[in-house]
């Protein structure tokens, strides 16, 4: 009786023209990783974020997404590599990034959705007017220290002006009639809108979609150009209903480009939108107080859960007969305040 190995070879040779390697499991792709700088998270994801893949950080506001991304960038820039931050939410703070060790000389910051008019308005808002520094003209006359007419002559035409103002028919008609305000026209939101279309939108939502479109185009340009070891796409403050309308082909194109250029693509969002195109998906819960002291704030606790991770085990030709044990899918760590000290 032929052995199982012989039967396996015969079946594969018979099906080779239809299904190559029908009974041979495909080889797993083990990617190199880059440390995040957080030991509990590195232990959970087996070393760090994968190189040449899309990593997605999902969480609500104040869940620690940006802190985790900045910690990762500090490791990449510390190795003298160039990174990019595509800021579609307009929330990136260079001072906070430099405080955690990010080398700003090796970081490209791309701000999306910021128009020139808004920046000019902000500049004009914080600029002192020139009238504040212009001295008042010297008043000549009796009250200015010089020789002028008598004060009685200065109010000669006051009574005539008041009577002429009160006798104006237009003023009386305007005061008697009610003031009608134009009624605003309601604008409905198009539910099937996608970034890049020509649908009429409200000004606020139009700015959001313009920022998303600029961020996607900037990411395409940077990935195709190459030379960036890590690209962070920040959609953290964009509503999930907007991010969920991005086509899945966009994330697939990013995944293929990341494999070719061996770049880390880090996506920050409130909604898991990359689906199967992401190599690693992490969900961050809202930060919680450590409650170590009753009257003093000592720090915040971060909780991370693995939603998706491909190729978690090392490749092996040995297939176990028993079901493998359930691995740990969660991790916690604490951000302590500077006045609390280490513990």
- pLDDT tens profile 235-257: 998 988 889 889 999 999 999 99
Both tokens assigned to 119: 């920046």
Both tokens assigned to 302: 């971060």
Q: Are strands 54-59 and 280-284 parallel, antiparallel or unpaired?
A: parallel
Q: Is the pLDDT of residue 314 over 80?
A: no
Q: Are strands 264-269 and 288-289 parallel, antiparallel or unpaired?
A: unpaired
CB 288 within 8 A of CB 63: no
Mean pLDDT of 252-264: 92
Neighbouring CB atoms inside 10 A of 138's CB total 8
Q: Is the pLDDT of residue 281 over 80?
A: yes
CB 264 within 8 A of CB 49: yes
Give the pLDDT of residue 176.
45
CB 94 within 8 A of CB 109: yes
Give the pLDDT of residue 222.
93
Q: What is the mean pLDDT of the chain?
A: 77
DSSP class of 7: H
Domains of the chain, residue spans = 41-115+190-312
The residues, any chain, with a CB within 8 Å of residue 28's CB and separated by 6 or more, are 311, 313, 315
Q: Is the pLDDT of residue 200 over 50?
A: no
CB 34 within 8 A of CB 51: yes
The angle subtended at Cα 251 by Cα 250 and Cα 252, nearest 5°, is 90
Give the pLDDT of residue 17.
73
Q: Can you tell me which residue has the tokens 């893949």? A: 53
Distance CA 100, CA 95 (A): 9
Give the pLDDT of residue 225.
86
Q: Distance between alpha carbon 52 and the CA centroid of its chain, in Å?
A: 21
Give the pLDDT of residue 15.
79
Give the pLDDT of residue 84.
95
Query: pLDDT (tens digit, 9 = 90+) per residue, 55-109?
Result: 999 999 889 999 999 999 999 999 999 999 999 988 899 999 999 999 999 999 9
> What DSSP letter does each residue of 308-322 carry, written as one string?
EES--S---S---SS
Helix (H) or strand (E) run with residue 66 in it? helix 65-78
Distance CA 278, CA 265 (A): 9
Q: Is the pLDDT of residue 201 over 60?
A: no
Both tokens assigned to 29: 């792709």
The pLDDT confidence band at residue 266, using thresholds 50, 70 and 90, is: very high
Give the pLDDT of residue 324.
55
Q: For 41-115+190-312, give the CATH class.
A: alpha beta
Which region among 138-142, 167-171, 172-176, 300-304 has the lowest average model confidence (pLDDT)? 172-176
The pLDDT confidence band at residue 22, using thresholds 50, 70 and 90, is: low
Give the pLDDT of residue 121.
53
The pLDDT confidence band at residue 1, using thresholds 50, 70 and 90, is: low
Mean pLDDT of 114-124: 54
Distance CA 87, CA 234 (A): 5
The pLDDT confidence band at residue 177, using thresholds 50, 70 and 90, is: very low
Q: Is the pLDDT of residue 187 over 70?
A: no
Q: Which residue has the higher pLDDT, 295 or 154?
A: 295
Distance CA 57, CA 65 (A): 6
CB 221 within 8 A of CB 254: no
**Size of the chain in residues:** 343
Distance CA 152, CA 122 (A): 48
Q: Which residue has the higher pLDDT, 339 or 138?
A: 339
Neighbouring CB atoms inside 10 A of 278's CB total 25
pTM of the shown model:
0.65
Q: Is the pLDDT of residue 168 over 70?
A: no
What is the share, in percent, of the chain residues with pLDDT greater than 90?
37
Q: Are strands 33-34 and 49-50 parallel, antiparallel or unpaired?
A: antiparallel
Give the pLDDT of residue 129.
46
Which region among 5-19, 141-155, 186-200, 228-242 has the lowest average model confidence (pLDDT)? 186-200
DSSP class of 32: -
Mean pLDDT of 147-171: 58
Long-range contacts from 314-319, C-beta under 8 angstroms, 24+ separation: 314/30, 315/27, 315/28, 315/30
Which region among 1-5, 180-184, 296-300 has the lowest average model confidence (pLDDT)? 180-184
């Amino acid at each position: 009786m032929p052995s199982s190995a012989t039967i396996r070879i015969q079946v594969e040779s018979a099906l080779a023209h239809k299904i190559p390697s029908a009974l041979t499991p495909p080889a797993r792709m083990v990617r190199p990783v880059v440390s995040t700088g957080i030991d509990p998270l590195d232990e959970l994801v087996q070393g760090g974020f994968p190189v040449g893949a899309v990593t997605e950080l999902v969480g609500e506001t104040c869940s620690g997404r940006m802190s985790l991304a900045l910690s990762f960038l500090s490791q990449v820039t510390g190795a003298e590599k160039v990174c990019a931050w595509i800021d579609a939410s307009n929330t990136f703070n260079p001072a906070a990034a430099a405080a955690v060790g990010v080398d700003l000389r090796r970081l490209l910051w791309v701000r999306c959705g910021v128009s020139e008019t808004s920046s000019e308005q902000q500049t004009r808002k914080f600029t002192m007017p020139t009238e504040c520094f212009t001295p008042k003209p010297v008043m000549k006359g009796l009250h200015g220290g010089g020789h002028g007419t008598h004060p009685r002559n200065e109010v000669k035409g006051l009574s005539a002006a008041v009577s002429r103002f009160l006798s104006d028919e237009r003023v009386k008609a305007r005061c008697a009639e009610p003031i009608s305000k134009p009624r605003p026209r309601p604008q409905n939101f198009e539910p099937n809108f996608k970034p890049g279309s020509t649908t009429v939108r409200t000004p606020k939502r139009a700015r959001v979609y313009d920022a998303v479109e600029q961020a996607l185009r900037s990411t395409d340009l940077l990935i195709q150009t190459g030379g960036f070891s890590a690209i962070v796409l920040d959609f953290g403050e964009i509503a999930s209903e907007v991010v969920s309308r991005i086509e899945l082909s966009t994330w697939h194109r990013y995944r293929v480009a990341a494999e070719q250029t061996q770049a880390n693509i880090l996506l920050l969002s409130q909604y898991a939108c990359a689906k199967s195109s992401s190599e690693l998906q992490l969900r961050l819960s809202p930060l919680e107080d450590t409650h170590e002291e009753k009257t003093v704030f000592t720090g915040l606790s971060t909780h991370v859960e693995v939603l998706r991770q491909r190729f978690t085990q090392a490749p092996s030709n040995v297939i176990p007969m028993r079901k493998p044990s359930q691995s740990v899918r969660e991790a916690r760590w604490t951000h302590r305040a500077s006045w609390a000290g280490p513990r």
